[in-house]
Structure 1
Amino acid sequence: MTIADQVVFGADGLVAAIAQQHDTGEVLMLAWMNRAAIDETLRTNQVCYWSRSRERLWRKGEQSGQTQRLVALRLDCDRDAVLLLVEQAGVACHTGRRSCFYLQADGAELHEIAQPTVSREQLYGGA
């Protein structure tokens, strides 16, 4: 039995995956994985997700170079969520921020608590 065999996937075949910096605990991003993404991640130790918009496997950093090396993969108690402890190279967010979680609620307002450290042009060559 593989690790992916032990994951409870949703009706769409996906499971939520949270990427967290292994040594600081910083939450970097949330994405989705299918069985193939989990298998690929465990096989290569390079994090791979399922892109819902592209409808294909997406290896983190394949365009931007901002890769995630897997340190550990954990399942929650219900086995329906994945926690990826990673070594993040560069920024995790496509907006050029270290973390995708840069918007903080203040009453009814959202405030940016982190500015981009890398431009989209630097990440994706103007794409």
Structure 2
Amino acid sequence: MSRFDKIEPNALFKALESATPADTLPSTGKLLDVVRFNEDGLLPAIAQQYDTGEVLMMAWMNREALEETLTTQRVCYYSRSRQKLWRKGETSGQQQQLKTAALDCDGDTLLLKVDQTGPACHTGRRSCFYISLDAHKALISSVPLIDPEALYGKK
């Protein structure tokens, strides 16, 4: 039994602030019970290339998508536009294999370290973060690696 098992669910993430790597934590299921999914039942998930640190994309996960990702090690998101699970790469082949998953200190954001096959962005770029901004202008910082029509067919 963990010292955290006796803590009220709404106080768990606060209590985890004092945790150390030597502590035994509650099960993943118990932690997911208190994760702060938004009013739509979604959690923002940031995908980062595990070996380079490159931030690839941000998407949403519901509990089902997160549990599937943790179980299969293949990243699954929740598509708000389609209102269904979205297994990354199911149409493009550009999959993400999970290396690690970590919740932030508030339990309201997830960081996924992944091994990305090809581009992560639907535009064919490696990363979705390609519009660079400064105080005066915006610039495009990368070109597509693959034509989006080759990934998804004509729309």
For residues 86 and 49 of structure 2, the distance between their equivalents in structure 1, rounded to whole angstroms, comes to: 19
Residue 83 of structure 2 is matched in structure 1 by 55
Structure 2 counterpart of 1:83, from 94, 111, 122: 111
Residue 105 of structure 1 is matched in structure 2 by 133
Structure 2 counterpart of 1:66, from 85, 94, 98: 94
For residues 103 and 40 of structure 2, the distance between their equivalents in structure 1, rounded to whole angstroms, comes to: 18
Amino acid corresponding to residue 74 of structure 1 in structure 2: A
Residue 12 (str. 1) matches residue 40 (str. 2): yes
Residue 125 of structure 1 is matched in structure 2 by 153
Name the structure with the higher strand share. Answer: 1
Amino acid corresponding to residue 9 of structure 1 in structure 2: F
For residues 89 and 115 of structure 1, the distance between their equivalents in structure 2, rounded to whole angstroms, comes to: 17
Q: Percent identity?
A: 57
Amino acid corresponding to residue 92 of structure 1 in structure 2: A
TM-score (norm: length of structure 2): 0.79
Structure 2 counterpart of 1:23, from 44, 51, 58: 51
Deviation at 1:126, TM superposition (A): 2.2
Looking at both structures, which has the greater relative contact order when contacts are Cα pairs under 8 Å and sequence separation is at least 6?
Answer: 1
Greater Rg, structure 1 or structure 2? 2
For structure 1, list consecutive stretches of 5 or more residues without a partner in the other structure: none
Deviation at 1:33, TM superposition (A): 0.4
Name the structure with the higher helix share. Answer: 2
Structure 1 vs Structure 2 CA RMSD: 1.1
Residue 114 (str. 1) matches residue 138 (str. 2): no
For residues 36 and 89 of structure 2, the distance between their equivalents in structure 1, rounded to whole angstroms, comes to: 26
Deviations 1:18-77 (A, max 9, x none): 000000000000000000000110111000000000000000000000000000000000
SS in 2 for 1:70: strand
How many pairs does the alignment contain?
127
SS in 1 for 2:67: helix
For structure 2, list consecutive stretches of 5 or more residues without a partner in the other structure: 1-26
Deviation at 1:105, TM superposition (A): 0.6
